[in-house]
Amino acid sequence: MPRKLETTVGIPHPLGFSTQGARFNFSLFSSFLPSLSLGLFEGDDPVYEIPMNRTGDVWHIGMIDLPPNLEYAYKVGDEWVQDPYAKLLNKNRAKATLPPPFDWQQDNPPSIPLGDVVIYEMHVRGFTIDPSSSSNHPGTFLGVIEKIPYLKKLGVNVVELMPIFPSDSTYWGYDPTHFFAPNQWYAEKDPVTECKVMVRELHKQGIEVFLDVVFNHTGGGSLRSIDKNVYYMLDERGKDLNFTGCGNTLNVNHPIVQNLILDSLLYWIEEMHIDGFRFDLASILTRDTRGTPVNHPSILERIQQNSALSKVKLIAEAWDAAGLYQMGLFPTFGNWSEWNGPYRDAVRKFLKGEPHQEESFKNALLGSPTIYKKTPLSSVNFITAHDGFCLIDLVTYEQKRNEVNGEGNRDGCNHNDNWNCGVEGPTENAKISKLREQQIRNFLLTLFISQGIPMLLMGDEIGHTRKGNNNPYNQDNSLNWQEWQPKNPKMFSFISSLIALRKKHKNLKEEHFVKKQEMEWQNPSEHLATLLLKKHSPHLFIAFNASRNDQTVAVPSGKWNLIVHTEEDWVFHESGPEIAKIELPPFTSTLLVKMILLP
């Protein structure tokens, strides 16, 4: 028979499990429950079931002494539910203890200036789970550590981790059930400690860690049982409002839900040393409790006013699944950048030769000044991301091939601005294969010479294919797994060189928009564009031919070295030949650096 526990009334805050000296406290918000009990478990069955006390809408109980190795849950009706604030989880329960002490070894976050950031969007499991990784810890946080030398060689300095919170069923993780704990799936034993070790070791090598967070809906979890009227947007009949495309929408501008979001973000900053966050479907944050968009959403104002959040990097996906498209809005609320969807679209359209795209392309190269008013660093530039075609598929397929996802090929975007270069799918036609590789080099050159923050999708640096699947959200297999025996290692070296060049040249990472007198833009004919950047020395000259005809481009005055010509087979000239005239075959581009003549 278990010994009797000495309990106290407890205190309503902080929510979750906490300690005050030698005492323990459990606290849960719920406005509608008539009663609530705390269950303490050894194994599958509760050994203690203790009624909790209520202050306002918060239930709480304290304990003088607590036996070790217990787990806990709350009894809502006949159902045991997980504490939404728990830090250590075990299936549907939580451990009645705090994370163990951790030696951060005087960890100092890299604090990389925004203009120097190069993002690598990564899935923790997919990065090392493939047998070709030869990882000692495949598919885990510890596996990422083993590949830090690879990331350093590539040149990226931020890893943006696709969701690492516990989630329901899908591989990508965009259906969270909890917001305060890393997923056990990514650990060998202790996910909290192993995640911290990963962050610490990345920081030692000058690499920051961003989390992709999903504060717009849940895939399950306990919030619905605890208080669905508070935590979710509901209509007059009590049915879910679906602005996310996932069946429900978190009630993000209710004060209690705001507290949950802020508490989660601050926990990941303070306890886990995370450097930044990318907010999935961030436009949900602008909807009030009835789902109506508002001009001054209180959740964004609270984030803006929080001193700890003002010191980390914030990125918004500035749209949702119900029609909101709010490019340029989030930077007005402080230190936000945005995934720049119009950048992706403009670059894809111009480089595949669509008519009348020159001005949109110019705007994209310059950091989208028609969208952003303060700085080009509000723009996170990308050609590809986790959803949509990966880079090699973008030039190989025009039709998505998502049948394996089990939704009859109805899922995934149907409009992708992609071009297969003449034939659908893989080909042995040498001419088409050459054109595809040229287009990939065109995309990569564009990405890394554009003003703003570049983001590279995991696998694009080695030509990974998803075989035309543009939405492999549930594919825990080779479609999503990084290959460690790449078919074209020259591609990796080319990208690494472009990243190094970007870091070296001030003209490519301006904090303020380039002024007219600091550049020369020419568009002598449709599909042909040149850009001279001359604010800093050495000057840079970039030319793009997105037409089906050969073009000759005059080089500006002075002596110039060829660095990249995308007709060449993954060649990057550290200090290339001097060039006075540029011959650009169809669908090619080039980069020149002006020689500095010593007196």
- Secondary structure in 3-state letters for 222-268: CHHHHHHHHHECECCCCCECCCCCCCCCECCCCHHHHHHHHHHHHHH
317 tagged catalytic: yes
* Residue 540 backbone phi and psi in degrees, to 5: -120, 145
Query: 25 is written with which tokens?
Result: 């406290």
Q: Which residues pair with 592 in a beta bridge?
A: 541, 562
Query: 436 is written with which tokens?
Result: 């595809």
pLDDT in tens, 14-26: 999 999 887 999 9
Options 146, 208, 227, 317, the catalytic residue: 317
Query: 251, exposed or middle or buried, with CB in 10 Å at 0-12, 13-18, 19+?
Result: buried
* Residue 62's CATH number: 2.60.40.10
Give buried/exposed letters for 407-427 (b at 16+ CB in 10 A, else e).
eebebbeeebbbbbbeeeeee
CA–CA gap between residue 40 and residue 49 (Å, rounded): 7
- The verdict on residue 112 lying in a domain is no
Tell me the H-state helices in 57-206. Answer: 124-128, 141-146, 148-154, 191-204
CA–CA gap between residue 565 and residue 445 (Å, rounded): 10
**What is the span of the domain harbouring residue 84?**
7-95
- The verdict on residue 71 lying in a domain is yes
**Element (DSSP H or E) covering residue 525:** strand 519-525
CA–CA gap between residue 69 and residue 368 (Å, rounded): 55
How many separate domains does the chain show?
1
67: left (phi over 0), alpha (psi -120 to 50) or beta: beta
User: Nearest CA to 390 among 123, 207, 157?
Assistant: 123
The predicted pLDDT at position 92 comes to: 83
Instruction: Give the predicted TM-score (pTM) of the model.
Output: 0.97
Number of neighbours of residue 39 by Cβ within 10 angstroms: 19
- The verdict on residue 75 lying in a domain is yes
Options 208, 212, 275, 280, the catalytic residue: 280
- The verdict on residue 480 lying in a domain is no
Give SS3 for 41: strand
Number of neighbours of residue 399 by Cβ within 10 angstroms: 14
- The verdict on residue 578 lying in a domain is no
Pairing type for strands 37-42 and 379-381 reads unpaired
Q: Which residues of the chain have pLDDT under 50?
A: none
The predicted pLDDT at position 1 comes to: 53
- The verdict on residue 245 lying in a domain is no
pLDDT in tens, 565-596: 999 999 999 888 999 899 999 999 999 999 98
Say which residue the tokens 């984030």 belong to. 303
